Chains A and B, each alone.
Chain A
Amino acid sequence: MQNNKKRIFSCKNLEMNFGGLYALVDINIDIFENEAVGLIGPNGSGKTTFFNVITGIYKATGGNLYFMDEGLLGKETYDIAKKGISRTYQSSRLCLKLTILDNILIGMYNNQTAGYFDALFNRKKLIAEVKTFKERAIELLNVFNPDLIDKLFNPMGELPQIDRRRVEICRAMAGEPKMILLDEPSAGMTPDETAEMMDDIKKVRSSMKNVSIIIVEHNMSVISSVSERVIAINFGKEIARGTYEEVSNHPDVREAYLGKEV
């Protein structure tokens, strides 16, 4: 129970049924403002599906979910994004052919005011806006990797994995969301890079005052260092919740990852 903190996200009896395959069953999770929650579970347990349901990529087949007291059920992905939820992906979904700046700018899509006709007839307004947003992008990059600032106009595809992740996180932060979903940010990284990634996530929280994070991870050191509480799921169902110590020692969680004790 969080004291005095506003609840920003909640789901009740959330269910995701793919034609007989129940990817999520009876999920009840509340997220409060300014907290970091870890979500763990073996492969295929439904973690990414959960993120996909929140962001509207899949439409939940049962239960309900709310963000800032508004229902999300059945809403389109782009409408949900406008409410202040952003995310990263297991396999970084970046536009490799576009510049670093472009990739971060699109994160601020919801904040733009210079539209279709301004592009043709009111260049001044457009350029002023782009410049402002570019400043914000530089600000963000400064937090994670100032070297990237010189490469603003380089193609995304040139960057190594860890920098790509960083840009992805910048994109997720750029629009000043209220909740960020991080999907296995350390996937595919070396231990050194993972350590840097942990610092990066801490920087996310310190550079943005009021943002909540749900982080899905397989790397327990990341989870334990970053999240305040942890929820574990398996086969789409919640099996434990609490602090990292409590959850990691929970017998069901151990069984999920390691198998039954002989």
Chain B
Amino acid sequence: MGTEAVIVQIILNGLMLGVQYALIAVGFTLFFGVLDVINFSHGDVFMLGAFIGLILINIFSKLGMMTGGASYVFVLFLIFSLCMLVTGLVGILFERIAVKPVSSGPPLMALLATLGLAIAIREAVRLFYPMGSESKRFPELLNPIFAGTSHAFEIEGVLIRYDNLLIFGIGIAVIVFTSLYINKTKMGLGIRAVAQDSEAAMMMGVHRDRVVDVTFLIGSALAGLTGILNGLFYNTVVFNMGAMGAVIGFSAAVIGGLGNIYGAIIGGFVFAMTQALSAAFIPRGSEYMDVIAFGVLIVFLVFKPSGILGEKMHERV
């Protein structure tokens, strides 16, 4: 491959991975901001989203709505929205049952609870979804949209598929939409207020519980969408695909500065780019990809301990 081609491939990989990491990291950082919890179950909510998407696709197929035509895009939109909604609601359920009850106690107990939740979700899918331990094929939903085209174009000899471009586009759109919501709406203001100082926010009339619910709705919905996008990208989903999700989400959120949404987005792309670069330039890089990304993370944190956009926590003495 010529150098230009390599660069294009790297950027491509970095962007595709980055948008997914960013979506998960945003949810992660929102949970941390609002409840001060490291939610280890978030990766498995991502996996749940993929499976919920799969179920919805099956339902819609059975209803005969998945044939092509003008309404197809609308049906897809419906599936995406429903998946996000359902995953979001499930996220609220998990928050009410497992996370909120322990969030006021020692933070390590909350960590333990989210760990338990992660294990429970993973096992539940493995046990109760038909043939849960095997990986499932995720249909190429986006292809019919581009029927009649060449499905891809080339830059420097690297094939760029339209459907991947669409995946990326959807991801970015949702990220933009989310940050607009957080920054421009009243509820978004409430979220930011609770993240800064929940007691003060409550004194100002903000309904903390409602804010927490909405935060988990958003965060889980984002994870759910990422699940579908991931399924569309790799065309396969499996019950333990979320195991690394929490770790990466955590890493990306920390790189960007825990509690900061823009930081989470940046962190997601930084982490993905590091992986893409090491996969390309380091011999046997794709095996060491994660090692290097983590190594960079460590070095990074040494110099910028609070992350890229994180505020230096001046502890009130």
Please list the residues of chain A having a beta carbon within 8 angstroms of any beta carbon in chain B. 48, 52, 57, 89, 91
Look across to chain A and name the residue whose beta carbon is closest to the beta carbon of B315: A57
Q: Report if B147 contacts A (CB, 8 A).
A: no
Where chain A touches its partner, the secondary structure class is loop
Task: Indicate whether B173 reaches chain A with its CB closer than 8 angstroms.
Answer: no
Q: List 5 A-B contacts (CB under 8 A).
A: A48-B317, A52-B317, A57-B317, A89-B317, A91-B316
Nearest chain B residue, comparing its CB with the CB of A57? B317
**What is the CB-to-nearest-CB distance from B76 to chain A, in angstroms, rounded to a whole number?**
50
**Could you tell me the distance in whole angstroms from the C-beta of A206 to the nearest C-beta in chain B?**
29
Q: Which residues of the partner chain B approach A48 to less than 8 Å between Cβ atoms?
A: 317
- Inside 8 A of A89's CB, which chain B residues have their CB? 317
Binary contact readout B303-317 vs A (1 if CB under 8 angstroms, 0 otherwise)? 000000000000011
Return chain A residues, CB-CB under 8 Å to B316: 91
**Chain A residue with minimal CB distance to B312?**
A19
Give B258-317 interface residues, CB cut-off 8 Å to A.
316-317
A95 vs chain B, min Cβ distance (A): 14
Q: Which residues in B have their C-beta under 8 angstroms from that of A52?
A: 317
* Interface residues in B, total, Cβ within 8 A: 2
The residue of chain A having its C-beta at the shortest distance from the C-beta of B106 within the complex is: A97
Main DSSP-derived SS at the B contact region: loop
| Chain B interface residues (CB < 8 Å from chain A) | 316-317
CB distance from A17 to the nearest CB of B (A): 14
CB distance from A48 to the nearest CB of B (A): 7
Cα–Cα, bound, A89→B316 (Å) = 10
Cα-based distance from A89 to B317 in the complex (angstroms):
7
Compute how far the CA of A48 lies from the CA of B316 in the bound complex, rounded to whole angstroms: 10
* Residues on the A chain within 8 Å of B317, using CB: 48, 52, 57, 89
Q: Whose C-beta in chain B lies nearest to the C-beta of A58?
A: B317
CA distance A89 to B315 in the complex (A): 13
Minimum CB–CB distance from B140 to chain A (whole Å) comes to 53
Once the chains are docked, how many angstroms separate the CA of A251 from the CA of B317? 31
Smallest distance from the beta carbon of A92 to chain B beta carbons, Å? 12
Q: Nearest chain A CB to B291's CB is how many angstroms away?
A: 34
Give A165 Cβ to nearest chain B Cβ, in Å: 17
The distance from the CB of A100 to the nearest CB of chain B, in whole angstroms, is: 21
Contacts of A57 in B (CB 8 A): 317
Taken together as a complex, chains A and B put the C-alpha atoms of A172 and B316 apart, in Å, by 20
Q: How far is the CB of A18 from chain B (nearest CB, A)?
A: 8
A48 to B317, CA, bound (A): 8
Closest to A55 in B: B317
Bound CA span A91–B316, Å: 9
Complex Cα gap A91–B317 (Å): 8
Task: Report the separation of the CA atoms of residues A69 and B316 in the bound assembly, to the nearest whole angstrom.
Answer: 30
Q: How far is the CB of B107 from chain A (nearest CB, A)?
A: 14
CA distance A52 to B316 in the complex (A): 10
Among residues of B, the one whose C-beta sits closest to the C-beta of A183 is B317
B41 to chain A, nearest CB (A): 28
Assembly CA distance A57 to B316 (angstroms): 11
Closest-by-CB residue of B relative to A48 is B317
Question: How long is the Cα–Cα vector from A189 to B316 in the complex, in angstroms?
Answer: 20
In the complex, what's the smallest C-beta–C-beta distance from A75 to chain B, in angstroms? 17
Q: How far is the CB of A57 from chain B (nearest CB, A)?
A: 5
Give B252 Cβ to nearest chain A Cβ, in Å: 27
**CB of B314, distance to nearest CB on chain A (Å):** 8
Q: B304 to chain A: closest CB distance in Å?
A: 16
Instruction: Report the minimal beta-carbon distance from A244 to chain B, rounded to whole angstroms.
Output: 27
Q: Which residue of A lies closest to B314 (CB)?
A: A18
Closest CB of chain B to A94's CB: distance in Å? 14
3 closest pairs, A vs B, by CB? A52-B317, A57-B317, A89-B317
Measured CB to CB, the closest approach of chain B to A172, in angstroms, equals 15
Q: How far is the CA of A94 from the CA of B269 in the complex (A)?
A: 42
Residue of B with least CB distance to A93:
B317
- Closest approach, in angstroms, between the C-beta of B221 and any C-beta of chain A? 38
B312 → A minimal CB distance (Å)? 10
Q: Report Cα–Cα, A91/B315, bound state, in Å.
A: 12
B31 to chain A, nearest CB (A): 26
Q: How far is the CB of B297 from chain A (nearest CB, A)?
A: 27
Bound state CA distance, A57 and B317, in angstroms?
9
| Nearest CB of A to B106, in Å | 10
Nearest CB in chain A: distance from B197 CB, A: 15
Q: How far is the CA of A226 from the CA of B316 in the complex (A)?
A: 27
